[in-house]
Amino acid sequence: MLGFLSRRRREPRRTDAPVAGRPRNAALPADLMRKVRRIEIATNRLVDQGVAGDYHSVFKGLGMEFAEVRPYQPGDDVRTIDWNVTARMGMPFVKKYVEERDLTIFLVVDVSGSLSFGSRAILKRELAAEIAALLSFAALRNQDRVGAALVSDRLELFLEPRRRRTHVLRLVREILDRPSAGGTDLERGLQAVLATLKRRSILFVISDFLGSPCTRALKAAASRHDLIVVEIVDPRDQEIPAVGPVVLRDAETGRTALVNGRRFAKRHAEQRRRERAEFLKLTRKLGVDRLELRTDRPYLNTLVTFFEQRKKRLRR
């Protein structure tokens, strides 16, 4: 997680493999089922409280579909003239379009080792699962398709977009239960998703974005999709205690190191400031929306405020 030890590279594996250590048809542990059920109940309540009502005004339709023709009126764009109807009727007619509303919401969720960390009441991975569930249930409430991919330093799992509650529950289970086996290489994982995702989508990338800012992959995603990055932040990502000698464990490799706490804390904070400044500069340059959610604060008001600001911007 802290990046002070080298990270492993491993060969890609099949994305439809069962979770290690459990046969595909084995019963899920009771504690996992309770956690999934709790997330379903909580996020459905939040959907009712503030997310579902203005949901469609938050996202742009990703295309236009033909609705009808009508007589030309002064000021109409001449490029919308339907020349076939005009010739047949002997007077100019224009095509009228409506914005497509059959949206596809696609979630790319980072499940690398650094997400299995949390210094407060919730792990970053658990927060990512709640946000994925909240967005997915809001989409289902509005009859939109939801798809998802789990990534680490590769594509771990790809779920085709569907309109099913069980589809969302499986996604939540996979986020919570998938082993933290990969390092953070969001560039590589997201590129693999983009190569597989053919339909233009509202694309959420949910990650802590530690390390390199995956410039090429985010640029490619923004050029094709309506991209929204959701940054999961824990206070200890930015700063660690400046105390005496401490043992630190890399969440992605499991390796430990004994370091001078005061010296390392300063170096770590400076490195994170540089990385984060680079990431924020990239999102501004690409013109994509960024939502920051923290493990030490409630997220509903932050999420609703983000949606309201995005809605106002899309009205312009």
Strands (E), 100-195: 104-110, 145-151, 155-162
Query: End-to-end distance of the chain based on CA atoms, in angstroms?
Result: 41
Is residue 214 within 8 A of residue 187, CB to CB? The reply is: yes
Helices (H) and strands (E) in the chain, counts: 10, 10
Could you count the other beta carbons within 10 Å of the beta carbon of residue 277?
Answer: 11
Q: For residues 127 and 142, what is the distance between their CA atoms, to the nearest angstrom?
A: 23
What does the pLDDT profile of the chain (316 residues) look like in tens digits?
444 333 333 333 334 444 444 544 556 688 888 989 999 998 888 887 766 666 666 776 655 556 678 899 887 877 789 999 999 999 999 987 655 567 899 999 999 988 888 777 789 999 999 999 999 999 998 889 999 999 998 899 999 999 999 999 999 999 999 887 656 789 999 999 999 998 889 999 999 998 777 999 999 999 999 999 999 999 888 776 666 676 666 666 667 766 666 777 778 788 888 988 999 999 999 999 999 999 999 998 898 888 888 887 776 6
**Nearest one of 174, 171, 175, 152 to 160, comparing CA atoms:** 171
Residues β-bridged to residue 110: 151
Could you count the other beta carbons within 10 Å of the beta carbon of residue 216?
Answer: 11
Structure tokens at 294: 């923290």
